[in-house]
């Protein structure tokens, strides 16, 4: 089962999530960026970076939360919109799933879920057990080709 954005809005949301993840990762690493900032901005800039050190754990947690919130799947065997609707209903009933977008045209889906309650493999296994489709976990969109 490959879950991926199926509309321009979905792609925009995915890009915004990725941008937020990158920004929080940079925030978490700001103390490591200090020497580069000092070289570029001058040694006085190091004093400002010290203020961010207590926030480093918060940035790290935000990065992990943003990166772990959705997953992609390929779903073989879907032939129509009703197939996609069936997959969406099954995924929506799983505890920890907050959203599922399924495309029969792209043979894929993207699921937003709580990683503390369910794993991507459990999502794929549930689809495989309850429906006559073959769902496979994919790390990213490029892996589905």
Q: Tell me whether residue 105 is in a domain.
A: yes
For the segment 110-142, what is each residue's pLDDT rounded down to a tens digit?
Answer: 888 888 888 889 999 999 999 999 999 886 444
Three-class DSSP labels, the chain: CECCCCCHHHHHHHHHHHHHHHHHHHHHCHHHHHHHHHHHHCHHHHHHHHHHHHHHHHHHHHHHHHHCCEEEEEEECCCCHHHHHHHHHHHHCCCCEEEEEEECCCCEEEEEECCCCCCHHHHHHHHHHHCCCEEEEECCHHHHC
Domain that holds residue 16: 8-66
* Count: domains in the chain: 2
Residues 32 and 78 both lie in one domain: no
Residues 86 and 54 both lie in one domain: no
Residues 96 and 136 both lie in one domain: yes
For the segment 53-93, what is each residue's pLDDT rounded down to a tens digit?
Answer: 777 777 666 666 655 556 778 899 999 999 999 999 999 99
Residues 79 and 61 both lie in one domain: no
């Amino acid at each position: 089962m490959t879950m991926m954005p199926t509309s321009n809005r979905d792609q925009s949301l995915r890009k915004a999530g990725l941008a937020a993840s990158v920004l929080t990762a940079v925030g978490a690493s700001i103390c490591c960026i200090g020497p580069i900032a000092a070289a570029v901005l001058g040694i006085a800039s190091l004093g400002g970076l010290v203020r961010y050190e207590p926030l480093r754990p918060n940035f790290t947690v935000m990065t992990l939360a943003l990166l772990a919130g959705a997953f992609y799947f390929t779903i073989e065997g879907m032939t129509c919109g009703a197939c996609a609707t069936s997959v969406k209903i099954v995924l929506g009933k799983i505890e920890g799933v907050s959203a599922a977008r399924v495309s029969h045209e792209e043979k894929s889906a993207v699921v937003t879920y709580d990683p503390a309650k369910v794993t991507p493999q459990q999502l794929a296994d549930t689809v495989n057990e309850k429906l006559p489709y073959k769902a496979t976990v994919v790390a990213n969109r490029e892996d589905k080709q």
